[in-house]
Structure 1
C-alpha cells in the first residue's frame, strides 16, 4: 500500500496520481475520512482503558457503599471499553480496506492515459522483409505443426481452449530458453529458484493481485489457495515478515514456475495459437533492494531483458507503459515488444515493473537504514515467458521450406543450427 503519511500530508498528490491512471479520486476522500475515524476510535478506546485502569486502582482502597458504587461503575465502564474496542477494530478494518484500494502512485515520468497511450523509448533491430526474400511467412501455428513442436488440437481436447502441448523440438526449445535465461541470470548474480505456483491469500493480496487483477486469478475451491499468474507473487512473499540486512541488498532471484491466468477480458483476442494462453512457464527476475536504489535497479532489469532478446536475435521495441495500464503495485513499467511478422506488429515479450515499497508495506518486508526500520523496495522483470518467446523465434527465423534457423545463443542448448520439418 502507499505510505499513509503521503495520503495525510499530500492528498492532492494522491488525487493527481489517481487522475493520471484515469481513476476516480473519491477513494482518497474515503481513505482520509476512514483515517480520521480510526484515530478518533483509537483515542476513545485508549481513554476508556485509562479510565478503567484508574478506577481499578481505587477499588481496593474503598469501603462499604463507596466500594459498591465503584464496582458498579467498573461494570458499566467495562462494557464501554468493549464497545470502544469493537469500534476501533471496525474503524481499522475500514481504513485498511480504503488505503489498500489506492494504487501505487505512478511515477512522474510515466505517460498519462490508458493502454494505447504508451511511449516508444527505442527500437532495436529491423523487422525482416520477407517480401524481399520472395516468400510469405507462415504463422507459428503452421510452423509448429510442420516441426512437430506445438499440438493445439490435443491441448484443447485434454484441457480446453488456450491450452497446448509442446512436443519434440517445441519441448526442447522450452528447455533451451530456460537454460539460457538461467545462465544469464547466474552470470549477473541472481540466485536461481524453483518457486511454488500455489500460494496463500496473504501472498496474493500482498502483491496486489487480488485488487484490479482478481478476475484473472484462479482460486482453488474449498481451499485458501491461489494459482499464481507469475512467480512475482511467491518471490515477493518469500521474505514476508522479515527484516533484511541492508548489507545483503540487493537480493536478486531468477525464479522458474508455471503460471496460470484466466485471461479475463480477453474474449476474442488471440484465440488461436499460443500467444495468449491459460498456462505457461516463465523465468522471472525479482529483486528486493533499498528504496533509493529502486529506479537504478529498474534500468538494470530492463537492460537484462534487452540482453536476452538480443541473444534471440529479434527485432523489438521498448515502451514506457501509460499510467492507466500499470498494475496496482507499479509506479512505472517498461515492456519489450518483439516484432511478429504474420501479425505485422510488435507484441509484448517481457515487462519490468518498479513497485517501490508498495508490496513490502503489505508483506511487512523491511531493512534498517541509519538505525531506522523501513520498508524495502521490490521490482520484477520477465526474463523469458516461454510461449511468446517460441512464437517470436519460429516466425522471425523461419526459412522458405518451413525449417527454422536457431539463434546462435540457443544452439549449444539445442545441439543443432536448424529445426527441420518433421519427415524432411
Structure 2
C-alpha cells in the first residue's frame, strides 16, 4: 500500500509511477477523492463522539427530574454517533479498496515500459561454446537418469516431474550451498509454511493482476505460496520489530507452487517453467533509509553464487510494467542457456520499500518513539531452475557433466556426473 501522506502531498509522483508502469493514473485522483471523503467522515464521527461524551457528563450531573427529559436526546445522539461511525468505516473501506489497486511507487531511475523495456546493467562471464552439438538440459537429465518428466506427467499432469538419483542430489546440494552462503551473510534459516491465509497473500501483493497464477484451496480458504517471500513477509505481520540496531534477515527454504496461467506453449519442455519447485529465498526487514543499500547487497550475493557455479549471466534493471505491484525496483539475473541461445531468468531481487509492511502492519519504533512501517526486500539465492543452466553450461560431449568446483563438497567430492549407462 502506498503512503497516504505521499498521496496527498505529491500525487504527481504517484501518477508518474502509474504511467511508467502502464497503469491508470486516474486511480490516483479516485484515491484522493476517497481519502478526502474518508477523512471528513472520520472528523464528523470524532466530533459527534466528543459531543456525546460531553453530553454524557452533563446528564451525569443533572438533577433526577432533568435526566428524564434528556434521555431522548441521549438516544438521538447515540444513533447519530453510530451512523457516523458506520459512514467512516465504509469510507475507509472504499479508500482501502481503491488505494490497493495502485502499485508501489517506483524508485527514480527504473525504466518505464513493459517486459521488453528493461535496461541491461552488465554481462558477466564468457558465453559457453562447444565443439560438439550441445544437448538441452532435459536430454542431459535423461542421459544421467536425473529427470523424469514422463512419470511426473503420469502422476500429476503436465509440467510436473521427478528429480531422481543424481538429479535429486544436485538440487539438494545446490540448496545447501545457497543456505551456507546465506547463513555466512547473517541470514537466519527458516522452513516456511506453504499454505497461507488470504490476508497474508493479499498483504504481499500477490492477489492483484497475477492472482490467476496462485493456487487456491476454497474449502480451507488457504493459498499455496509461489515463493516463501509470502510466508516470510507474514512472519512479522501485526508486529513492532526492532530494526534500529540492524536489519532482520531470513532465508526461507520451501516448496513453491505456480499455476503458470497464460504460459501455455511457453517453455513446456523440461523444468524451466513448472508447477512445483524448491527455492531458497532471502528476505529482509530494514529501516527504509537503508533499503537501497540492502538491495545492492542482495544482488551481490546472487551474483557471487552464479559466479561460483561458473555460469555466464547478465543483470537487468526490470522495467516498471514488469515489476509486479509490490516492487519499487527489481533486478533480474539471467543466466545464459546454450541451447536456447539466450539469457533466461534464474533469480531476481526486489526492493518493496514500505509497500508490503503497510499492508501487513509491520512497524519499527523510530528514535522519536513513534512507529513507522519498515521496508522489506527479497531475493532468490537458489531454485530448481538453476539446474537447467548448470547442466547445459557444464556438459561434456559424452553426455556427462562437469560439477562446478564450489558445488563438489556438497556432492561428496563428485567431479563428474556420469551417464546412467556407466554406473
The TM-score with structure 2 as length reference comes to: 0.96
1:163-174 aligned within 5 A? 163-174=160-171
> Which residue is equivalent to 1:341?
338
> Which residue is equivalent to 1:155?
152
1:344-423 aligned within 5 A? 344-371=341-368, 372-386=370-384, 388-415=385-412, 416-423=414-421
Distance in 1 separating the partners of 2:420 and 2:34: 65
Distance in 2 separating the partners of 1:62 and 1:266: 77
User: How far did 1:110 drift?
Assistant: 0.7
Contact 2:238-2:362 within 8 A present in 1 as well: yes
User: How far did 1:63 drift?
Assistant: 6.0
- The SS at the match of 2:135 is coil
Query: Where does the alignment leave 5 or more consecutive residues of structure 2 unmatched?
Result: none
Post-superposition CA distance 1:366-391 (Å, at most 9, x none) = 222222322111110010111x1111
Number of paired residues?
419
User: How far did 1:271 drift?
Assistant: 1.4
Contact 1:246-1:369 within 8 A present in 2 as well: no
Contact 1:305-1:382 within 8 A present in 2 as well: yes
> Which residue is equivalent to 2:45?
45
Distance in 2 separating the partners of 1:246 and 1:311: 31
The TM-score with structure 1 as length reference comes to: 0.96
Distance in 2 separating the partners of 1:63 and 1:394: 90
Contact 2:244-2:366 within 8 A present in 1 as well: no
Residue 179, structure 1, aligned to residue 191, structure 2:
no
1:51-66 aligned within 5 A? 51-60=51-60, 61=62, 64=65
Distance in 1 separating the partners of 2:373 and 2:54: 38
Residue 245, structure 1, aligned to residue 248, structure 2:
no
Query: Where does the alignment leave 5 or more consecutive residues of structure 1 unmatched?
Result: none
- The SS at the match of 1:203 is helix
Distance in 1 separating the partners of 2:165 and 2:85: 64
Which 10-residue stretch deviates more, 46-55 or 151-160? 46-55
Residue 70, structure 1, aligned to residue 70, structure 2:
yes
Post-superposition CA distance 1:296-321 (Å, at most 9, x none) = 11001000000000111011111000
Contact 1:163-1:278 within 8 A present in 2 as well: yes
Contact 1:357-1:375 within 8 A present in 2 as well: yes
Post-superposition CA distance 1:328-376 (Å, at most 9, x none) = 1111000110011111100000100001111111112122222232211
> Which residue is equivalent to 2:227?
230
Contact 1:55-1:70 within 8 A present in 2 as well: no
Distance in 2 separating the partners of 1:57 and 1:370: 39
